[in-house]
């Protein structure tokens, strides 16, 4: 086993099972990692406020990676300190808001800036996402929001599947060379800066801790995790990951319903402490 000094892990499908329950042995294992001064950082498409309760449940103080790498930061008491970010180009933010409001008024627009989620109205789609994440959106007008020139890290656009498919096709025909569009669900369209990735976030975290990538280990379960798994010194795919992801990873652990993350940690990093 290499001299691993930093671990970065995806959340959904990795440390959480399909019922959104945490790996039951993970907190105890993370306490042992802490004694060895090995940080364990969570990385997700979620916002910082969507990640923080999981951090607290696991007793983590390390930096987190939000919006699939668009934002790296750390909670200090009640404040959130940004360590690194890759916002969407300001001109693209303004143009996206205009195009969507003008051509797709039925689509719910959520704008994530820093740790906060901004919406222009509450509707069934916004309420659904709020119930899933436990977050409370900030009501605003996008005109006033844009006037503040706040860096935007992600758009989340929600609607009926056919409307989202139409919107995606429309935006892909527009000129947004610095912006990436992807479906996280059939009716969820997410938008970030094209430079965003969990692999880049891993590089930044390694630099923050003064480490090489060879000293890092990453866990993940899906295609968006694959660049991070390949960049890490050791990339570990979950047993529930698609076969192509498992084939490309260095190692494969048990699936997320069988405590795959803690099982790997106990067998390979903590064996001498158990």
Contact between 264 and 40 (Cβ < 8 Å): no
29 is a catalytic site residue:
no
Contact between 190 and 157 (Cβ < 8 Å): yes
**Choosing from 3, 10, 77, 81, which is the catalytic residue?**
10
Sheet architecture: strand order including 40-43: 79-85, 71-76, 64-66, 40-43, 6-10, 216-220, 234-237, 251-252
Backbone angles phi, psi at 105, to 5 degrees: -65, -15
Q: What is the C-alpha to C-alpha distance for residues 50 and 133, in angstroms, rounded to an integer?
A: 6
Q: What is the C-alpha to C-alpha distance for residues 57 and 22, in angstroms, rounded to an integer?
A: 9
DSSP 39: -
Q: What is the C-alpha to C-alpha distance for residues 5 and 3, in angstroms, rounded to an integer?
A: 6
Q: What is the C-alpha to C-alpha distance for residues 220 and 110, in angstroms, rounded to an integer?
A: 26
Contact between 196 and 85 (Cβ < 8 Å): no
Q: What is the C-alpha to C-alpha distance for residues 152 and 70, in angstroms, rounded to an integer?
A: 9
* Catalytic center residues: 10
């Amino acid at each position: 086993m290499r001299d691993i000094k930093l671990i970065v892990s995806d959340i959904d499908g990795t440390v959480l099972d399909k019922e959104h329950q945490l790996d039951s042995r993970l907190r105890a294992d993370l306490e042992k990692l802490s004694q060895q001064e090995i940080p364990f950082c969570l990385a997700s498409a979620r916002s910082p406020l969507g990640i923080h309760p999981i951090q607290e449940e696991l007793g983590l103080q390390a930096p987190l990676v939000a919006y699939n790498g668009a934002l790296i930061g750390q909670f200090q008491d009640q404040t959130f300190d940004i360590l690194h970010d890759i916002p969407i180009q300001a001109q693209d933010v303004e143009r996206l808001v205009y195009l969507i409001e003008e051509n797709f008024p039925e689509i719910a627009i959520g704008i994530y800036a820093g740790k906060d989620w901004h919406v222009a109205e509450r509707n069934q789609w916004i309420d659904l996402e709020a119930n899933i994440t436990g977050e409370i959106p900030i009501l605003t007008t996008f005109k006033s929001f844009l006037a503040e020139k706040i860096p935007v890290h992600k758009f989340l656009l929600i609607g009926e599947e056919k409307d989202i498919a139409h919107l995606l096709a429309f935006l892909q025909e527009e000129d947004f060379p610095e912006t990436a569009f992807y479906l996280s669900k059939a009716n969820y369209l997410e938008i970030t800066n094209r430079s965003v990735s969990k692999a880049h976030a891993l590089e930044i975290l390694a630099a923050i801790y003064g480490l090489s990538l060879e000293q890092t280990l990453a866990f993940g379960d899906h295609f968006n995790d694959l660049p991070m798994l390949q960049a890490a010194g050791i990339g570990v795919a979950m047993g529930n990951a698609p076969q192509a992801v498992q084939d490309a990873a260095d190692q494969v652990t048990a699936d997320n319903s069988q405590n795959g993350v803690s099982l790997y940690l106990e067998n390979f990093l903590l064996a001498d402490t158990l």
